[in-house]
A and B are shown apart, each in its own frame.
Chain A
């Protein structure tokens, strides 16, 4: 079981700020993104440009998500 947190505009796109998910062992960040895209179609266009952290550390697409992880997705924001 992992927790996924959505920040800024991603919260609106997903319609929620956090979800819990059951992942199979060895799931990579890239695969999680496509799972999220299937579950929340409105998220899909934003997934390519967002930053992902696993347990509060930057994660690359090929990083494996450990069980119990807290995954967070941050979109780039431009306001100033």
Chain B
């Protein structure tokens, strides 16, 4: 039986109760429902706010990060006063302020193969609001293995995708993208940038789909991938089908348990901005400044995008955007000492990998990127 609503709740949800597709029964279904949202960032912000406002009775929130100033351009669940506080706590407080009648459970931990089953237990629906491939594959496989729907959304600059993956009724994420892309191929928001409103649109669509699943109304995005382009203001759809060879939801699955995806995807799972190329391959900003100051000729290779030069630059550095590096190796000299850098050190770590695999040995990664240089060597430069 679905829980009853108090008089206060009836007033709060009156605009829902007036819609036949929701009504009193639907609102009670929402109150009885439980949804786990992974990520409290750009997608998680509108998602959590709308699920809370709509009266979803039990909402789980997973994240392990703290609120940063650079989040506030799009992560509207957090405020300036919440900077440096735990994201899950900042989100929980805002949700309970919006709707004190719901239960919000926060999980301040990285979502991994070790804790995913435990955390997801007891939730009806999983919503993928993460910002990295390892967690996306984890969230998908978890949903398939536990028979729960996975409400998917993902963004890049001005473009977004959304779908509902429910392997009991249609394809899963792996049916579309069986394997994660090779490391470094796809930039994260921290590297590629994102238009602030974009996750608002996609997150609101994920919230819509989640509520529809709970209510059992309308046509869910199962078997369809929605593609949104904010610049063109277009919504398009691609019809999807179940992949008969799918490794996790196919008839003879290879994947029968959760995998440690961090190595597998080749990107650090919890820290997309870690900024290190590993032991022995890094140089710190003060160390680099000292070496340059002592007159050692070091070629500085900036692997950021051209428009980032307007924000900050290191004098004497040459621009080799990461995407062009492979085709411009002939312009570099492996006999010469070289330091590669980007904004925070993760694109340059991949540039370093590429250079090392091409035979370069006298190359180092500026740990923490030009942002570290700005903090520790040249405070006239902004951190972005």
Contacts and interface: CB of A to CB of B under 8 A. Distances in A.
B176 A77 contact: no
Contact of B177 (A13, A45, A49, A80): A49
Nearest to A78: B133
| Contact-residue size bin, chain B (C-beta under 8 Å from the other chain) | 35 or more
Interface centre among A46, A49, A74, A77 (most CB of B within 10 A): A77
Interface string B173-204: 00011011110011111001010000100000
Interface in A39-74: 41-42, 45-46, 48-49, 51, 53, 56-58, 60, 72, 74
B275 interface: no
Interface residues of A, number: 25
Interface string B210-228: 0000000000000001010
Contact of B182 (A49, A60, A77): A49
Among A9, A42, A75, A76, which residue has the most Cβ atoms of chain B within 10 A? Answer: A76
Nearest to B236: A56
A26 to B, nearest CB: 22
Contact of A58 (B153, B157, B176): B176
B44 interface: yes
A46 B189 CA distance: 18
Interface of A: 7-9, 12-13, 41-42, 45-46, 48-49, 51, 53, 56-58, 60, 72, 74-80
B177 A57 contact: no
B342 to A, nearest CB: 16
Contact of A80 (B131, B171, B176, B180): B131
Nearest to B43: A80
A79 B131 contact: yes
Interface stretch (B237-245, B285-293, B355-363): B237-245
A46 B326 CA distance: 14
A9 B186 CA distance: 7
Nearest to B176: A51
Contacts of A45: 182, 185
Given A42-B323, A49-B179, A77 B161 contact: yes
Among B43, B129, B186, residue most surrounded by chain A Cβ atoms (within 10 Å): B186
Contact of B181 (A13, A60, A76): A76
Given A77-B186, A79-B131, A53 B238 contact: yes
Given A7-B159, A8-B159, A56-B239, A80 B185 contact: no
Contacts of B192: 9, 79
B90 interface: no
B227 A80 contact: no
Given A51-B177, A76-B133, A78-B132, A8 B199 contact: no
Contacts of A48: 179, 181-182
Contacts of A80: 39, 41-44, 128-132, 153-155, 189, 199
A73 B370 CA distance: 34
Nearest to A75: B186
